[in-house]
Amino acid sequence: MKNYAKLLVAIQGMRFDLGIDEYRRGMSAAKKHFEDCEDQAAKQAIVCDAYATAEKILAKRFGSEANPAKRSN
């Protein structure tokens, strides 16, 4: 029985190391994290584009008053 348990642990370790078992040991977690990072980067790019567009519109509408960082005190 001890030999069977050792063999089972050894086989599981090999499966995990090779990435065959996706439900344990981080292969699926790593894939999910990578996909989440890609999604977040895409969302951040959309937000940055929208912010830049809003800044351009406000600059045209209000001039330098629209951007408080460009005001001279």
In this structure, the chain runs to a length of 73
Q: pLDDT (tens digit, 9 = 90+) per residue, 27-42?
A: 566 677 777 888 888 8
User: E strand or H helix at 41, and its extent?
Assistant: helix 27-62
pLDDT digits (tens, 9 = 90+) for 40-54: 888 999 999 999 999
User: Considering its fold, how many domains does the chain have in total?
Assistant: 1
pLDDT of 12 over the 70 cut: yes
Cα separation, 66 vs 52, whole angstroms: 13
Domain hosting residue 38, numbered range: 2-70
DSSP letter, residue 69: G
How many whole angstroms separate alpha carbon 71 and alpha carbon 61? 15
